[in-house]
Amino acid sequence: MYKALNYWVFGGFSGEKTPFEFIEWAAKKGLDGVELTVGDVISPDITEEECRKIASFASEHNIGLRTLASGTGWNCSLAAVDPEEKKAAMRFVRKYLRIASWIGAETILVVPGATRVAWDPSRPVLPYKTVWDNSLEALRELAPEAERIGVNIGLENVWNRFLLSPMEWKLFLDQIDSPFVGMYFDAGNACLNGRPQDYPAILGNYIKAVHLKNFEESDSAGGLHGYGDDLFKGVLNYEELFDEFRKISYSGPFTVEMIPFCRLPDLVLPDPALADKMAEQIARL
């Protein structure tokens, strides 16, 4: 089981720690890998030479770089109705794929689109069908490039009011019909609308990578504050989830993404103590 940690808890959203610092820290903590993030610690304009240096440093420290993440899709969307925004989103994903190939990652995390972004009132509210059609069109165009480069586009289930169940995900991905466009499955996010352990049997090989965090249903279904700062406090049943992944012979990465929304409005990242705590908890999974 490949166990990794996402960059944000260690280095924040503005790239306060370098990739090399994160890799060194992860090696000392005994992790298998790290998930670097594009748009902060990794500039979208990074060169191939710079990526190769990061990859070489990671290899020297026996740290994997199997996935990359980015939050860019929230404000530069593949499902945008504005043609210029959609073009910009396509350009970003194409560069994102190249960065992944240079750094040696097998999967990039992509937000497929959103009908509403609850925490950003400046973003447009869109009909579900519009997001479906626009995202599908964009991903069908990007799929051949992902296949040519040899990097998966992993679409994450996020709080985007879109693709709300494993059956919707299956229908959507079937319509793209590419072995290089699949799902970056976030088990914690899936808790809002259903049971995370129901996804592997339905999605199978479409699941390219997995994010782990927990979710507490503290008030009915729960809100964003349900994402705590402890992997083991919440409704996520790891034993059942991992058993379902074993049934489909999943061998991809498990990466902890720790953004403790329970601390809002006082959420501060980076959080070195929380990063240390996550490394200790990851080891227990």
Enumerate the domain spans of the chain.
3-282
Look at residue 192 in the predicted model and tell me its pLDDT. 86
- Homologous superfamily of the 3-282 domain (CATH): Divalent-metal-dependent TIM barrel enzymes (3.20.20.150)
Confidence of residue 137 (pLDDT cuts 50, 70, 90): very high
Task: Tell me the per-residue pLDDT of 29-76, one tens digit each, with 9 for 90 and over.
Answer: 999 999 999 999 999 999 999 999 999 999 999 999 999 999 999 999
Q: Which of 61-75, 185-199, 212-226 has the lowest mean pLDDT?
A: 212-226
Q: What mean pLDDT, rounded, does the chain reach?
A: 96
Q: 19 near 8, Cβ under 8 Å?
A: no
Confidence of residue 225 (pLDDT cuts 50, 70, 90): confident
Confidence of residue 198 (pLDDT cuts 50, 70, 90): very high
Q: Locate all alpha helices (DSSP H) within the chain, ordered by sequence.
A: 8-11, 19-29, 48-60, 83-103, 128-149, 166-176, 187-190, 199-203, 238-247, 272-282
What's the mean pLDDT in 87-104? 98
